[in-house]
DNA sequence: GCCAACGTTGGC
DNA sequence: GCCAACGTTGGC
């Protein structure tokens, strides 16, 4: 449960009507879990190799809230909340030959992949399971949790986000 | 620039 | 382990 009393921020950037305040990002807990983030406190959301997901990260603002979703596990669902604290960071793993995210087609003079930095806010007492999310999400939002969908980042509408915040 | 083949994701 | 639903690749 979050202790916070934050509100959707009113920064100068929010004059931009395309601003999104809430997002959902997926990670397999085997690869990176909410517990790991809690220990790390801060992490780079690197390794995203899907253009649409990358483009969503490019639309993020500092202070945006992100629902952390555990995928490919039992049970899948939202397990916590984090906050975007830094933007437009070149993903270092694309140039790391030892990384599973190494991209030989990406050149340092023209990097293909970038990402955001997030910080831990809270871990849910109880997982918000996929069946529950299917009832709460709009059609667009369901795209991220659809079977076989490779999109791992999606904007969450404010109305949906308010409901989710009550439940995590 | 089409599209068939292929690889990956991820719930079930 | 199955397989639907995608994104990517590459021959033409």
User: Averaged over A23-41, what is the pLDDT?
Assistant: 96
Residue A115 predicted with pLDDT over 70: yes
A10 assigned to some structural domain? no
pLDDT in tens, A134-167: 999 988 898 888 877 889 999 999 999 999 999 9
Contact between A37 and A83 under an 8 Å Cβ cutoff? The reply is no
User: Averaged over A75-99, what is the pLDDT?
Assistant: 95
A11 assigned to some structural domain? no
A48 assigned to some structural domain? yes
Residue A76 predicted with pLDDT over 50: yes
User: Averaged over A66-78, what is the pLDDT?
Assistant: 95
- pLDDT value of position A14: 45
A128 assigned to some structural domain? yes
A7 assigned to some structural domain? no
- pLDDT value of position A84: 97
User: Averaged over A92-101, what is the pLDDT?
Assistant: 92
A151 assigned to some structural domain? yes
- pLDDT value of position A19: 59
| Neighbour count for residue A86 (Cβ, 10 Å) | 14
Q: Does the nearest atom of strand B lie within 7 Å of A26's Cβ?
A: yes
A30 assigned to some structural domain? yes
CB-count burial class (<10 Å; 0-12, 13-18, 19+) for A11 = exposed
Of A96, A81, A49, the residue nearest A165 (C-alpha) = A81
Residue A15 predicted with pLDDT over 60: no
The rounded Cα A70 to chain-centroid distance in angstroms is: 11
Domain count, chain A: 1
A44 assigned to some structural domain? yes
Å: A122 CA to B6 C1':
40
Structure token digits, residue A44: 């780079």
The rounded Cα A142 to chain-centroid distance in angstroms is: 15
Tell which strand C nucleotides have any atom below 7 Å from a protein Cβ. Answer: 3-9
Q: Which DSSP helix (H) or strand (E) runs through A55? A: helix A51-58
CATH code where residue A121 lies? 3.10.590.10
Residue A5 predicted with pLDDT over 90: no
Measured CA to CA, the distance from residue A101 to residue A111 in angstroms comes to 13
Å: A103 CA to C6 C1':
21
Residues 86-125 of A with CB under 7 A from strand B: none
Residue A80 domain boundaries: 18-167
Which nucleotide shows the minimum CA-to-C1' distance to residue A152? B9
**HEC-encoded secondary structure of A56-119:** HHHCCCCCCEEEEEECCCCCCEEEEEEEEEEEEEECHHHHCCCCCCCCCCCECCECCCEEEEEE
- pLDDT value of position A119: 98
What torsion do the CA atoms of A133, A135, A138, A140 make, to the nearest 10 degrees? 50
**Which of the pair, A5 or A61, is modelled with greater confidence?**
A61
Residue A20 predicted with pLDDT over 70: no
């Amino acid at each position: 449960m979050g202790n916070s009393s934050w509100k959707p921020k009113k920064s100068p950037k929010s004059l931009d009507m395309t601003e999104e305040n809430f997002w959902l990002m997926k990670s397999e807990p085997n690869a990176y879990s909410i517990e790991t983030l809690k220990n790390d406190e801060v992490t780079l959301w690197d390794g995203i190799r899907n253009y649409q997901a990358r483009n969503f990260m490019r639309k993020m603002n500092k202070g945006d809230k992100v629902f952390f979703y555990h995928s490919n596990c039992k049970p899948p669902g939202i397990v916590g909340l984090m906050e975007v604290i830094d933007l437009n960071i070149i993903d270092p793993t694309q140039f790391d030959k030892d990384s599973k995210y190494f991209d030989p087609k990406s050149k340092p003079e023209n990097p293909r992949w970038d990402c955001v930095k997030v910080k831990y806010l809270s871990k849910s007492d109880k997982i918000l399971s996929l069946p529950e999310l299917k009832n709460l999400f709009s059609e667009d939002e369901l795209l991220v949790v659809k079977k076989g969908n490779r999109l791992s980042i999606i904007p969450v509408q404010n109305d949906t986000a308010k409901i989710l915040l009550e439940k995590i």
